Amino acid sequence: MNIAVFGAGYVGLVTAVCLSELGFRVQVVEKDRHKLNRLQAGISTIYEPGLQEMLIRNLSEGRLVFTENGPLAILKAEVLFVCVGTPSRPDGSADMSQIEAVTKEIVESSLDSGYKLVVVKSTVPVGTGRWIEKMSVLYAKGRKANLEIASNPEFLREGAAVKEFMHPDRIVVGVASERGRTLMEEVYRSFDCPKLFTDSHTAEIIKYAANSFLATKISYINMVSDLCEETGADVALVAEGIGCDRRIGADFLKAGPGFGGSCFPKDLRAFAHVGRSYGLNFGLLEQVMQINRERSQRMIRRLREQLWVLGGKKIAVLGLTFKPGTDDVRETPAAAVIEALLAEGASVLATDPLGIAGFRAMYGNLADRIAFAESAGEALLGAHAAVIVTDWDVYRELDWAGVKDGMETPVLLDGRNMLDRAEMRRLGFAFMAVGR
């Protein structure tokens, strides 16, 4: 089967590489010249375990091609995956301009040609499939593009993208015709997981509903975490206590600095916007977002409990990416924590194993006002306190006894509950965790 993939970002690149690994012939259309050059040279543009080797193997065996020639890829392909971005607009709604542009390109290049299945993998508001159908008629200008639109949301997580693409918990496909369903069954034939075939509206809602539910679990446990902190209870044990109930489940109950990344914040805003646009009360999601926004202030408050005055103090921020195992800093909680520290008049020395370059590029103004260190050891030298924002293993394995003596005052806020409290206190740290 010939497949085309539009957009070589996290989702598109992983989808394309994995499908070629499964033996499909895949053409990836990418408009960003810089990305395209690197991918054509066999260099992965994102950091994902296992991706680089698979990329080189499938490129060299000729199953995977990167191109900017959309029309040619469209001509050859029977199934076209749309994996372009759907970022937030200022009002929180999803910006559909990339999807719109790809729709136009696909319609114009498939006029009077055979049947093609256009599969939307990007995360999109309910009704997107219908909009693509409507726009297809407009762009066809009275001629016929024999396109069927399907929805196939992606649930992979960054940092484990290849593994989760290849071994998903489920596959969701919103498709109307038998022909489209048969094609999607063929694409996912080798996957051994529940496959849910629905209408396109349902599939589109499943994606936002899943992300919003997971984010709700996180804000919920963060809310409970604050009560644990006030009362001397332990949020990790509370999470274990409720998570053992299979109806609740143990995952996504880790208290911390709040959720970040390119999807949860953006998708919550978009889902809440969709709800509002139908006149529905999606206030629950507004609360989830509000709790998340307040996490950085909570961390500042904890630091003040130990340091009294933050102005003029040097604080080491350990971790800039929104979670470990990725170089992605989009909507990272670290940015809010740094912002809040600077507002207190503290000076910040930040470090991260993979995120420094991305942080500098994305948060220019903020980055200009702080300093960066190559390692945690360097960041902690002379610091009045350290805050762990991202739970990288290197911070777990750090020689804390060794670095403590180099600190001005040994205050440590473990924002991810990753270190052993008793051990840290034994080493002489004024140690604080989250919700315990």
Q: Which does 322 bind (CB under 5 to 8 A by kind): ligand NAI, ligand UGA, none?
A: ligand UGA
Q: Which does 220 bind (CB under 5 to 8 A by kind): ligand NAI, ligand UGA, none?
A: none
Q: Which does 372 bind (CB under 5 to 8 A by kind): ligand UGA, ligand NAI, none?
A: none
At residue 266, what are phi and psi to the nearest 5 degrees?
-65, -45
Indicate if 263 belongs to the active site: yes
| Binding status of residue 7 toward ligand NAI by CB under 6 A | yes
Is the CB of 208 or the CB of 395 nearer to ligand NAI? 208
| Binding status of residue 214 toward ligand UGA by CB under 6 A | yes
Q: How many residues bind ligand UGA (CB under 6 A)?
A: 20
* Strands of 347-351's sheet in order across: 371-372, 347-351, 314-318, 385-388, 411-414, 430-432
Nearest approach, Cβ of residue 9 and ligand UGA (Å): 10
CA-CA distance, 58 to 47, in Å (whole number)? 17
Helices within 122-261 (DSSP H only): 128-140, 161-166, 178-187, 200-231, 235-243
What token pair was written down for 333? 């909680």
CA-CA distance, 208 to 213, in Å (whole number)? 8
| Binding status of residue 261 toward ligand UGA by CB under 6 A | yes
Amino acid 10 reads Y
Is the CB of 145 or the CB of 235 nearer to ligand UGA? 235
User: Nearest CA to 204 among 227, 237, 172, 159?
Assistant: 172
Nearest approach, Cβ of residue 309 and ligand NAI (Å): 40
Nearest approach, Cβ of residue 36 and ligand NAI (Å): 9
What token pair was written down for 180? 């489209």
Is the CB of 105 or the CB of 391 nearer to ligand UGA? 391
Is the CB of 109 or the CB of 123 nearer to ligand UGA? 123
Concatenated DSSP letters of 360-425:
HHH-HHHHHTSEE-SSHHHHHTT-SEEEE-S--HHHHSS-HHHHHTTSSS-EEEETT--S-HHHHH
408 in Cβ contact with 382 (< 8 Å):
yes
| Binding status of residue 158 toward ligand UGA by CB under 6 A | yes
Contact map string, positions 170 to 189, toward ligand UGA, x by CB under 6 A: --------------------
Concatenated DSSP letters of 261-328:
SSSHHHHHHHHHHHHHHTT---HHHHHHHHHHHTHHHHHHHHHHHHHS--TT-EEEEE--SSSTT---
Q: Which does 86 bind (CB under 5 to 8 A by kind): ligand NAI, ligand UGA, none?
A: ligand NAI
| Binding status of residue 385 toward ligand NAI by CB under 6 A | no
18, 83, 228, 263: the active-site residue: 263
Contact map string, positions 337 to 376, toward ligand UGA, x by CB under 6 A: ----------------------------------------
| Binding status of residue 254 toward ligand UGA by CB under 6 A | yes
Length of the chain: 436
Active centre residues (catalytic) = 263
Which residue ranges make up the site for ligand NAI (CB under 6 A)? 6-12, 29-32, 35, 83-86, 98, 101-102, 122-123, 154, 156, 158, 262-263
